[in-house]
Chain A
Amino acid sequence: MSDGLAIGLGYLSVSFSFGIMAVTSGLAWWQAVLISLTNLTSAGQVAGVGIMSASGGLIEMAIAQFVINIRYSLMGISLSQKTDESMNFPARLISSFFITDEIFGVAVTKEKVGFRYMAGLGFYPVIGWTTGTLLGAVLGNIMPPFVTNSLAIGIYGMFVAIVLPVCRRSKIVAGVSTLSVLLAVVFRYVPFLHDNVSSGFAIIICAVIAAVAGAVITPAREEDVKENVKEEADG
């Protein structure tokens, strides 16, 4: 539980930015809160709000969430090798909801992972993530636009803070990240692409091309993957 408290406090601030960003994108406060309560992930939710405000398609939403959150599959596979006998089928169904970067990062350091541990670990993060979104969404509705816009940019600042330190340590991540941005710039500024490819799909295409290029050039080592999971700070 105490491990979860630290994660929950961190989530409170990140989801505050998400709440503001969601209401400035045209969502009602309860719609923003419901997204956080049912999704429990930051990058996926930001992309999801973008697709919602553009009235995007259901398939676009499914593919976007699949690509952005596919790392949770890997974490789930990794965690499934550490579970004890208390992790029966229903316990797994409940526990899997709590698989986020931070919760995984803490859980994976344990020798054995039981249901009570996972449920306890997930409790505060869910509360923190939902409450932060509520506070951000409500305050976002009260404050004038130039203030909320200044706060909505915060979530992008956090994304920069996640990626840039890893880029400094790893040239290949820096390359992957740069390629991804260059492709995103092309999708944004080439009129034909900007008019015909929605922002959700553009992110998917850019990210997959860049990650595949990185994987082909330098297949990651086991240590990199572990390091990544610890460093990653995400919902």
Chain B
Amino acid sequence: MDNRIYLPLLAVSALTTYLIRALPFTLFRKKITNRYIKAFFYYIPYSVLSAMTFPAILYSTESLISAAAGAVTAIALAYKGKNLLIVAIGTCAASFLVSLIELLLR
């Protein structure tokens, strides 16, 4: 990637992320008590990950079919409560197998 695009974006990303961590930790001493703000903080990681994963996961491999195979596997394994690594490996394996079959049939 062209460094003229990459470097400014990297700097902004790193600086923003650092300030979010550093400012409250160094300056803030009071406790947040507002239930609505607390709830917002509680839900935001899940809503971010959800919006980031679907539908983007379906376009993360060579074909919609292999990606869908990975997505279905991810949901099935995660639903069974498997840990992160197992789910990730299963997701990769499923989409890899389907990609391989597609490659052989082509």
A contacts, CB < 8 Å to B: 10, 13-14, 17, 21, 26-28, 31, 34-35, 38-41, 43-48, 51-53, 55-56, 58, 61-62, 65-74, 76-77, 79-81, 89, 92-93, 95-97, 99, 101, 145-147, 149-168, 172-173, 176-181, 183-185, 188-189, 199, 202-203, 206-208, 210-212, 214-216, 218-220, 222, 224-225, 228, 232-234
* Total A-B pairs, Cβ < 8 A: 311
1/0 per residue, CB under 8 A from A, across B24-52: the answer is 11101111100111111111111111111
Report how far A21 CA is from B61 CA in the complex, Å: 10
Closest Cβ–Cβ distance, residue B5 to chain A (whole Å): 5
A44 with B9: CB separation less than 8 A: no
Contact B40 A38 (CB under 8 A): no
Q: Of residues 54 to 95 in B, which have CB atoms within 8 Å of A's CB atoms?
A: 54-57, 60-62, 66-67, 70-71, 73-75, 77-79, 81-85, 87-93, 95
**B45's contact among A43, A99, A212, by CB below 8 Å, is which?**
A43
Task: For the complex, give the distance between the alpha carbons of A211 and B21 in Å.
Answer: 21
Contacts A39-B13, A153-B92 given; indicate if A185 touches B1 (C-beta within 8 A).
no
Q: Is the CB of A67 within 8 A of B74?
A: no
Tell me if B's interface is mostly helix, strand, loop or mixed. helix
Task: Report whether A31 and B45 are in contact in the complex, using a CB–CB cutoff of 8 Å.
Answer: no
B84 touches A233 (CB 8 A): yes
What are the residues of chain A within 8 A of B61 when measuring CB–CB?
A: 146, 149-150, 152-153
Cβ contact within 8 Å between A224 and B42: yes
